[in-house]
């Protein structure tokens, strides 16, 4: 029980706060920087700079994923509200996934079409 509670604190508070702060900082600046890994080229790690409304969608998705981790990992440790925490975690994960997919899709289509230059 104690190890589950400790993992809930680390994943449900610390890691969730990283996602929340990254999303809030990106939302206020209007730009999000996503790290990617390149294959067969140097440098190994690079960054994608996303601007405009696709960045807003991805930032809100990060905030939603942070809430999902908080609901699922932290509040899911308590048996009385475990079901409610599970429903909240699944709902916010779906919202975050849909927003992230729309944001990345619109950014990729806009990059090919030359909108975000």
Q: Which residues of the chain have pLDDT under 50?
A: none
- List, in sequence order, every residue forming a beta bridge with 88; answer none if it has no partner: none
Q: Where are the domains of the chain?
A: 2-113
List residues bridging with 45 in a β-sheet: 37
* Separation of alpha carbons 58 and 53, rounded Å: 9
For the chain, the first-to-last Cα distance in angstroms comes to 52
Q: What is the pLDDT of residue 68?
A: 92
pLDDT attached to residue 4: 66
């Amino acid at each position: 029980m104690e190890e589950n509670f400790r993992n809930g604190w680390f994943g449900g508070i610390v890691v969730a706060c990283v996602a929340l702060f990254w999303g809030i900082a990106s939302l206020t600046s209007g730009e999000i920087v996503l790290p990617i890994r390149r294959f067969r080229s140097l440098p190994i790690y690079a960054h994608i700079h996303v601007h405009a409304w696709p960045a807003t969608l991805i930032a809100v998705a990060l905030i939603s994923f942070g809430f999902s981790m908080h609901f699922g990992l932290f509040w899911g440790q308590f048996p009385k509200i475990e079901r409610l925490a599970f429903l909240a975690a699944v709902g916010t994960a779906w919202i975050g996934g849909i927003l992230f997919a729309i944001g990345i899709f619109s950014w990729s289509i806009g990059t090919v079409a030359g909108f975000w230059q």
